Amino acid sequence: MIVMKFGGSSVANRKQIEKVLAIVRGRAGRTPLVVSSAHKGMTDALLSGAREAARGVYAPERVIERQAAIARDLGCDDALLAPFYEEISALYRGLSLVRELSLRSLDYAASFGERMAVRVIADFFTREGLPAQAFDVWDLGFLTDAAFGSARPLPGYEAAMQRAVRERVPAGVVPVVTGFVGKTEAGDITTVGRNGSDLTATLVGAAIAAEEVEIWSDTDGVMTADPSVVKKARSISEMRFDEAAELAYFGSRVLHPSTLVPAMQKNIPVRVLNTNRPEHPGTVIREAAPPSELSATSIAYKEGQLAVTIRSTRMFGAAGFLGEAFQALGRHEVVVDMIATSEVSVSFTTDRREPLDRALPDLERLGEVRVEAGKTLMVVVGRRLAAQAGLGAAILQAVADAGVNVEMVSYGMKSISLTMLVADKDVGAASAVLHERLFERA
């Protein structure tokens, strides 16, 4: 069995869903399980409608008509989604009356995109001659904790999913399953995080011991750089799990940051493919990959960083100062992306303002604190970084030649990534020169 995940752009409209049908039909012999995102833009529309409702603007018809237009174009009966339209209207009505929007309500609102998408896709597949059945993922045993917005499956979900898939999916029928969402044991709908259908796919793949997980999007696999910034970016044929995980965390737009963890734990290959060019081999990500002749694997970046510096003479030759700082960050749930220290200062970055604001009073008791916004983490990932003499210097020189100032550097011993902090405005210039030096001259 294989798991095939299709993103929002892949199921945006009838033209795209026809491409998906042809791809899935071509893999029918491998017993595919399809995980689908919402149609492109639907999740944002649903959340926007919920927020408007909480401000007293009751307008469910906007999102309902958007979904209904796609369903009609696919030839679906109006009755197929009528219960969901009623449920959306009732939810928005309730929000407009209480004027309150909780994380639970946001997850509930967001869930309709996937729940409606899988039903119209399965209905369309079946009428086109490929028997399919829609499933909400919790009906196949995927129950989660109550961490709304970032839920994770409960321990033991794997056995529950194996049993449910075996007992509930008819032979010869393609299950079309909701990505992104889950449900608690109490019956509350959750989500695993924005763009989380990738994560759903690998969690399902790990549970059912899939032969492979395919992630279908609108790019030719994982690229050597963001193609919207570097026009000469090219596809990477094979890469290791650790390289892809670094890229995903540090801003690669192709994979959700947590996607690879379940696949790594069960050693299931993940293949990233292009719905619009299904003949392209894309990128296969696995535990071991053949040696590369290139110095690096890819460049990624993570914008919107806050750079924080704590300066104090108490640090000089003293034990425990960093421990106090990290305890303060931990108490207030500040997630640190990058860190560097000297004898009298420690600098770190984070991308969430609210937890940092909560932590600032505690940090200011340790020393002088400076916060700077508008920063980007640029990372070069490659398995040869630690072994090739002068490569780190060449990377820094390339950024300097682009006229970009590196404000902070992080590079762990035997690391496969070198991270630099630059200004947001310098991302394009730094990416272009780095790509030219690392990939175009090779």
pLDDT for res 344: 85
For residue 440, what are the contacts with CB-CB under 8 A and spacing of at least 6? 232
pLDDT for res 295: 78
Opening angle at CA 307, ends 302 and 312, nearest 5: 150
Q: What Rg value do the Cα atoms of the chain yield, rounded?
A: 24
Please name the residue that has the structure tokens 């012999």.
29
Q: What CATH number has the domain bearing residue 70? A: 3.40.1160.10
Does 425 fall in a domain? no
Cα–chain-centroid distance for residue 155?
22
User: Confidence class of residue 111 from pLDDT cuts 50, 70 and 90?
Assistant: very high
Q: Is the pLDDT of residue 442 over 80?
A: no
pLDDT, tens digit, 9 for 90 and up, residues 62-88? 999 999 999 999 999 999 999 999 999
Residue 112 is assigned to a ligand binding site: no
**Residue 119 — φ and ψ, nearest 5°?**
-75, -40
pLDDT for res 433: 95
pLDDT, tens digit, 9 for 90 and up, residues 288-320? 877 777 778 999 999 999 999 999 887 776 778
pLDDT (mean) for 222-242: 90
pLDDT for res 315: 72
Question: Please, are residues 351 and 337 in contact by the beta-carbon 8 Å criterion?
Answer: yes
Does 317 fall in a domain? no
Residue 43 is assigned to a ligand binding site: yes
pLDDT, tens digit, 9 for 90 and up, residues 200-209? 999 999 999 9
- Mean pLDDT of the residues in the chain: 93
Residue 193 is assigned to a ligand binding site: no
Question: Please, are residues 302 and 350 in contact by the beta-carbon 8 Å criterion?
Answer: no
Query: Phi/psi zone of residue 374: left (φ > 0), alpha (ψ -120 to 50 degrees), beta?
Result: left
DSSP 34-94: EEE-PSTTHHHHHHHHHHHHHTT---THHHHHHHHHHHHHTT--GGGTHHHHHHHHHHHHH
pLDDT, tens digit, 9 for 90 and up, residues 113-168? 999 999 999 999 999 999 999 999 999 999 999 999 999 999 999 999 999 999 99
Dihedral sign for Cα 285, 269, 194, 176, please: positive
pLDDT for res 173: 98
Does 382 fall in a domain? no
pLDDT, tens digit, 9 for 90 and up, residues 316-375? 767 788 899 999 999 999 999 999 888 888 999 999 999 999 999 999 999 999 999 999
Does 204 fall in a domain? yes
Does 41 fall in a domain? yes
Question: Please, are residues 392 and 411 in contact by the beta-carbon 8 Å criterion?
Answer: yes
pTM (global) more than 0.85: yes
Q: Count structural domains, the chain.
A: 1
358/354 Cα distance (integer angstroms): 6
Residue 375 is assigned to a ligand binding site: no
pLDDT for res 48: 97
Residue ranges making up the domain that contains 175: 2-217
Does 149 fall in a domain? yes
Does 31 fall in a domain? yes
Does 378 fall in a domain? no
